[in-house]
Structure formats: C-alpha cells, structure tokens
Amino acid sequence: MREFNIVGKHVPRNDARAKATGTAIYTDDIKLPGMLHGRILRSPLPHARILRIDTSKAAALPGVRCVITGEDTPKIKYGNWRLFPDTQDEYPLAIDKVRFIGDEVAAVAAVDLDTAEEALSLIEVEYEELPAVFDVESAIAQGAPVLHDYCPSNISVNRKIQYGDLEKAFAEADYVREDTFTVHAVSHAYLEPCSSVAQADLDGRITLWTSTQTPYITQCLLASTMNMRENDIRVIKPFVGGGFGGKMELRTWEFCAAFMAKKTGRPVKFTLSREEEFLAGRRRHPMKLTSKVGFKKDGTLTGKDLRIHLDGGAYNAMGPTATFLCGNFGAMLYRYPSYRFFGEHVYTNKPPASAMRGFGAPQSIFATETQMNIAAEELGIDPIELRLKNAQVSGDKIPDVATISTCGFKESLEKVAEMCNWKEKRAQYKTGGGKGIGIGCYSFISGGVFNWFNTQYPFSAAEVRAFDDGTVHLLTMAADIGQGCDTVVKQILAEELGLKMEDIRITSADTSMTPQADLGAWGSRLTLMNGNAVIDAARKIKEQIFGMVSVRFNLNVIHEMECKDGKVFPKGRPQRSMTFGEAVAMAQKANRGEPLVARGYYTPRDKGMVTPAFSFGAQVAEVEVDKETGIVQVKKFWTAHDCGTVINPKAVEGQLEGAIQMGLGYTLSEQFIMDGGKTLNTTFLDYKMPNAMDMPPSETAHIDTYEPEGPMGAKEAGEGLAIPTAPAIAAAVHHATGYRCKDLPITPEKILNATKSL
C-alpha cells in the first residue's frame, strides 16, 4: 500500500457539521421573495387519450398565478440518451396521451400550497381510456396496445453482445443449465423528496436550484425543452438528500418551475410529496432474465447465454443504459470463454423504471450468482471454490467491451471465506436446518465510458486556484448528493498539493460558476473521474510552483519535487523548502501578478466501452429463518471488496452500510404493491424499507489494490456494494430452508409455500 498523508485517513466529511447542526440548506429550504408554490396534476388512468383539458376554473381560483398544460409548452421531447434522439420519448407535460397512473398532465403555481392543491381539483380533464399493459409478456404479445406511436413493438431498445463460439461451448460442456429469474421494482426512497426552485431574471435567464445528481444534464435538457440556449440556464445543486439514480434526469417539476417562473416573473417552487414519489417516481427495473451456462465437470465455465427483458414502464428514462449494462455485467466476475447477451427494453403502462444504484447489476448479478450457487451445489463443488476456479483476474479482457486493469476478486473470495469461517459454517449448518450462510459477489464500474449524453465537454473538469496565503479554491461541477464526493476530491487535492483539508475552499455543482462540465453523480464515476480531473489541475499548479523552488534554491534540473505538509521542496531535501503560499506568491510574481489558476480534465480514452476500472467484492450473509413464520433474519454480513485505494475509510464504510440496508430491503421486504398499474403502497408505513433497527452487524475487509487509472489508485465504492446482498441472502436462505429463490423478493409466503412442498 502506498503512503499517503490524507488519502486513506478518517477525514470527517465536508458536509458533516452542516448536516449535524441543521444548517445545511436543501432545495426545499430555499425561500425567495414572492415565491409561488407549484403542484402537478397527474393522470388517474394508466393509458388514455386526452380529449380536453379545461383549466379555466383553476386559473380563476384566487391566489392561482399560473396553470399550464402540455399545450402551453414548446412540446419538445427530452431524454438522457441525447446521442440517440429517437430514444428521447418524454414531454414535460403530457401531449395527447397519458401512459401511466401518475403521468404529468398539468401544473399549477399559486401563492400557497393549499391553493395550488385546490386548483388541481378544479382542472377538468376528459380522457378516452385505452387498453393498458402491465407486464412485459403482455406488452410484447401480438396485438398489444401500443404506448408510443414510433414504437409499435413496445420494444424501444435492444442490445446484443456476442463473442466466442457459444454452440461449441455448450456442446463441450459436461453440465449445462438454464434458469429464469425475475426481479422486482423497488424505490430509491431517498430521504429528500425531489424539490426544485426556479427564478427567471429580467434578461430571461433561468436559475434553477434543484435536488439533482446531474446539474449539467439538467441544464442541457431544460434548455432544449424550454427552447432556450444552454447557458441561459443556470443549475445549482444545493445540499441533496440522496439520489441513488432517481435524480439524474430532467424532471417535469424542473421544467414546470422554470417555465412558470419565466411566465409569471416570480420564483416557483415544486416539492414532491412522499406519496407522489412512491406513486409515480422512478424505480429499479423489474426484469426477467434467462441464463444458460455450461461447465466442465471440474467446474470450469465454458459459456453463457443471457437473455433479458427489462420492464421499462412508460418511458425510456435510463432504461437504455440499464439494457446495455445488464449485458456487460452478465459477462463480469467469471471468465466466460464464450458469451452471448440479448436484452430488450419494453414499454409498459407503469411508472418508468430507471437508473438505480447498481444500474442493471443487481438484477443481472442476482441471476449470475444464484445460478453459480445452484451449479456449485449440483456439481458438488464448494461455491467459493467454484468461483475461485473461474474468477476474473487483472488483465482479463471482455472482447470489444473492456479490459480489467486491476482485479482483487480472488483475494476478496479468499478473504471473505476466512472472515466468516466459511468452510466450518457450511458444514455445520445442515440444509433446511433453519440456519444458513450464502455468498454473493459483485463487480461494478467506476464510471461509464459510453457517451450516451453526447457531451461535448470532457467527462469531468476541475479548476484549482492557488493563493499566496496558502489556500486553494477547488471548483468542480461534480455533484455531492450525500455520497461524499466533495470530501473525497478535497482529500485528493490536499494529498496532491500537500495541504490540509481546511486549506481548501470548494465550490461545486453550479453550472454557471464551476467548470464545464461534469456528467454527474451516477455509475460511481466521481471519485475516479472528477478525482483525475482534480489531479490534472493540481499537477498544472505544481509545475509552476516547482519551477519557483528551482529558482529559489538554484536546483539541478534533475530534481524531482514534492508538496507535503504545506511545503514545497526537492524530494529528499526538505531543508530546501518554501511554504506552499510562498511558492505561489513567487510564481505569481514571475507571472507579473497573474493569479495561479489551472483547469484539469478527465475523459476516459482507450478504455473500452464500459468503464475505466472495475471494482470487485464478495459478501457472505448468515441467516436464520423462522420455520413457522418464514421470516428471515440476517444475523451478519461479511464483506471483502476491492475498491482500489480507499480514499476515505469512513465514507466507504458508510457506503457499505447504506448498501446493505438497500440490499436487505431489495431482497426481503421492499416491493411496490400494484393494482392495474396503480402503486398502492405510497407511504413509508406501507413500503417496507429496513431501518436502523433492522441492520445486522457487519464486518468488512478492503483488498489492497492500486488502480493505475484511478486517482491515487482508487476505484468505485458507491454502487457495487449494493449488488451482492440479494444473492448472498438468497443462498443463505436456501442453505437454511432448502428454498431456492429465483424471483425476488424473498417473502415469508414464498418460503412457507416452498418449504411446505419440500
């Protein structure tokens, strides 16, 4: 492990004090003079033609300042896949048709929330109800109702990957098995409901404060839907209370706030209720996955054939990416000599699914890992042994997709086995005996390479301004949404420049002030991508101040320099040091007063199609299942994972805890109860998210790797950890009960039904 001063240390988070003291300003905390409050009218029908909307009564209600429908808007579609405009299928407000219960039909802005709410009830909408489809099978059946005219098949996107000779693979296999898995939708359930405040200035420019993961994407798409120039929109991200993929697109209320602010000349705020979030919010893709794998007798994999249908809901949202990534994740973890993937994204009359922590991997890898556990059992090989035999290693290539530069997967497997006493417990607990342990593994991306947003800027950027008082100012559009990237990039900068955390002022996520651009907080991209941009900027600063040290001490040209403890000096000769501030002052003097400013950039190049770096890990869950009730109690988790250099151990720990909480819910308790396209459980009372009391103890080990493409060796630790929990619990439940789950979630009913018949 390399030696660092600040990287790898338990540095308190940048936002900790503000959040602990309640002074952190979230979007809904923003109050502007004359501000109006907005509400959205949503469709009560899953699929219908809009025949008539009469807003006159609503508009006449005292206190109402603005009512709009799709007809008032420029009617420009948007969607995150800007590289393929055909995929952009969404209007800010419905034009002609609604496609799910909760689809946005009209918006009201009034002097207070009650008036806005009352006005909604005065809007008359005449619908012609259309037949609707609520699952993939019905949606792709012959004669199914068509959601979007441009897409008569309801299959909006497909993705193929193929390499190796799959026929041969299965022919040569000693053991081939095919399983079909289904996984369900869950909610991001971020604690901060979506909120946006827009203000139009007198030049017609818009400032939008919004709870978003992607200020830059929001800026661009808002501009296009408003028919405005990109840079006449300024997007500022205040504190954000979680996103998990659910806040990475332009959303109706962002458009409505901006559009109505421009129309009324007054600031407009929209804050969603929790009910709206559950009723109509984005969610994780339900999928049906059919996986066929071949093995040699000794457990060596020969090939894999994976077919997936994604239930996308009414719009594409981030579905195309999920479709792509499912295929990529299907080829991860193990060495498949041949591999074929075919994925299809299908429209249904439900709230759109979209990106959610793991982005296709929780689903795809649940299938991979569960099937691996089944195969291990049938081949009579220990599940960890089977994995070790096939595990990917550093340098492995997935043809045309990616090269794995560093891989601590085998080490993770060995470490987790040791941590949990795997062998002993596997032997000790008899299958069906009520107690069990099981393993699940993961790999994840450290940011994406495929430029679906078609940004014209580097993927990430940073500006560093160095001052003669020994401080620096870091400006970055990277969005801290609670995951802690402000802290991480400050640590990286402090390490690179030999400064303390308190020497760094950070300004982040303001599209008018921070450098163009950053694609946002998704795909676990920021540590690596923004971190690299920060290092690039810092090195440009160092180049200049190193020169000054050379001048001051009349150094031989061969000296390497370093920045450490607030000083700059030739390596190994700290007696010839200047303070950082002195060196900056001298560089500034040499530049005849011009301040020391540098911009750094990062764009992954020659890094395949997926990501510059993969994380890996393995997790073991130990469960106890009540035979009478079928209730699963997870007793403990052990996790060994490879995220490269751990920049901030506390932050990684936090990610892991959050991931386990999400994984627990995904596996055991969370689901949307739907009836005819309507989400019935729209409160935290009915939507069963695990809370602090449900959290089992957990042990973790970081595998020591150094990722050359990552900043100071780091890779992702944000999403991957959310993946292994479901297959690990499912395996442990099988161990405890004999019930093999192939359709999440694992409910007591399923266990009882299954064990009854066993």
Q: Which is nearer to a second copy, 130 or 228 (CB)?
A: 228
Which stretches of 467-590 are assigned E, i.e. beta strand?
A: 472-476, 504-508, 561-564, 567-570, 578-579
- Encoding tokens for residue 586? 């001298």
| Closest to a second copy by CB, 174 or 201 | 201
What is the smallest separation between the CB atom of 76 and a second copy, expressed in angstroms? 15
305: DSSP letter: E
Q: Which is nearer to a second copy, 96 or 469 (CB)?
A: 469
d(CA 715, CA 526) in angstroms, rounded, equals: 10
Q: Which is nearer to a second copy, 13 or 387 (CB)?
A: 13
Taking residue 111's Cβ as centre, other Cβ atoms within 10 Å add up to: 16
State the CB neighbour count (10 A cutoff) for residue 427: 9
Q: Which is nearer to a second copy, 103 or 709 (CB)?
A: 709
**Number of CB atoms found within 10 A of residue 472's CB:** 24
The one-letter amino acid at 415: K
**Phi/psi at 730 (nearest 5 deg)?**
-60, -40
| C-beta closer to a second copy: residue 592 or 756 | 592
User: Closest separation between CB of residue 18 and a second copy, Å?
Assistant: 6
CB atoms within 10 A of CB 576: 17
Give CA–CA dist 741/318, Å, rounded: 27
Closest approach, Cβ 231 to a second copy, in A, equals 4
Q: Closer CB to a second copy, residue 283 or residue 525?
A: 525
Contact partners, residue 538, CB within 8 Å, separation at least 6: 464, 493, 496, 497, 598, 600
Nearer to a second copy, 22 or 143 (CB): 22
58 with 120: CB under 8 angstroms?
yes
Separation CA 72–CA 95 (nearest Å): 10
Smallest distance, Å, CB 471 to a second copy? 4
Residues 6+ apart with CB under 8 A from 202: none
Distance in Å, CB of 268 to a second copy, minimum: 15
Q: How far is the CB of 603 from a second copy (least distance, A)?
A: 6
Between 587 and 620, whose beta carbon lies closer to a second copy? 587
In angstroms, what is the minimal distance from the CB of 358 to a second copy? 28
Find the shortest distance in angstroms from Cβ 24 to a second copy.
10
335 CB neighbour count, 10 Å cutoff: 16
**Cis (ω within 30 of 0) for the bond into 517?**
yes
DSSP string, 20-52: HHT---BGGG---TT-EEEEEEE-SSSSEEEEE
Distance CA 632, CA 751 (A): 9
Closer by beta carbon to a second copy, 29 or else 71? 29
* Cβ burial 270-307 (10 Å sphere, 16+ → b, else e): bbbebebbbbbbbbbbbbbbebbbbbeeebbbbbbbbb
- Minimum CB distance to a second copy, residue 253 (Å): 24
User: Which residues partner with 64 through β-bridges?
Assistant: 110
Q: Which is nearer to a second copy, 202 or 557 (CB)?
A: 202
The smaller minimum CB distance to a second copy, of residues 170 and 601, is found at: 601
Binding residues for a second copy, rule: CB under 8 A, are: 17-18, 21, 23, 201-205, 223, 229-232, 455-458, 461, 465, 467-471, 473, 502, 505, 507, 512-513, 515-517, 585, 588-589, 592-595, 597, 599, 601, 603
- Give least dist CB 265 to a second copy, A: 9
C-alpha 357/C-alpha 188 separation (Å) is 8
Nearer to a second copy, 507 or 550 (CB): 507
Cβ proximity of 229 and 244 under 8 Å: no
Rg (CA), the chain: 27
Please report how close the Cβ of residue 503 comes to a second copy at its closest, in angstroms: 9
Nearer to a second copy, 218 or 619 (CB): 218
Q: Least separation, in Å, of the C-beta of 672 and a second copy?
A: 37
- Are 651 and 721 in contact by the 8 Å Cβ rule? The answer is no
Closest CB 635 distance from a second copy, rounded Å:
39
Q: What minimum distance in Å lies between the beta carbon of 529 and a second copy?
A: 13
CB of 741 to a second copy, least distance (A): 46
Could you tell me the CA-to-CA distances from 317 to 159, 308, 558 in Å, in that order?
16, 18, 54
Q: Are 243 and 188 in contact (CB under 8 A)?
A: yes
* Closer Cβ to a second copy, 199 or 737, answer by number: 199
CA neighbor of 546 nearest in space, from 558, 529, 535: 558
At 515, list the tokens: 């450098």
Shortest separation between residue 511's beta carbon and a second copy, angstroms? 10
Of 175 and 467, nearer to a second copy (C-beta) is 467
Q: CB nearer to a second copy: give 495 or 510.
A: 510
Residue 261 CA to residue 282 CA, distance in Å, equals 25
CB of 516 to a second copy, least distance (A): 4
Of 128 and 543, which has the nearer Cβ to a second copy?
Answer: 543
Token pair recorded at residue 545:
């101040």
Q: Which two tokens stand for residue 712?
A: 């100071």
| Element housing 168 (H / E) | helix 166-172
Which of 514, 503, 434, 449 shows the shortest CA–CA distance to 472? 503
Exposed/middle/buried for residue 129 (C-beta within 10 Å: 0-12, 13-18, 19+) = exposed
Query: Which of 405, 392, 364, 362 lies closest to 660 in space, CA to CA?
Result: 362
Q: Residue 726 corresponds to which tokens in the numbers above?
A: 């479901």
Among residues 100, 132, 102, 135, which one has the least CA distance to residue 743?
135
Q: Would you state the structure tokens that stand for residue 756, as one six-digit string?
A: 């009854």
Check whether the bond before 748 is cis (ω within 30° of 0): no
- Taking each helix axis from N to C end, the angle separating 361-379 and 725-737, rounded to the nearest 10 degrees, works out to 30
One-letter amino acid at 370 equals T
CB of 157 to a second copy, least distance (A): 26
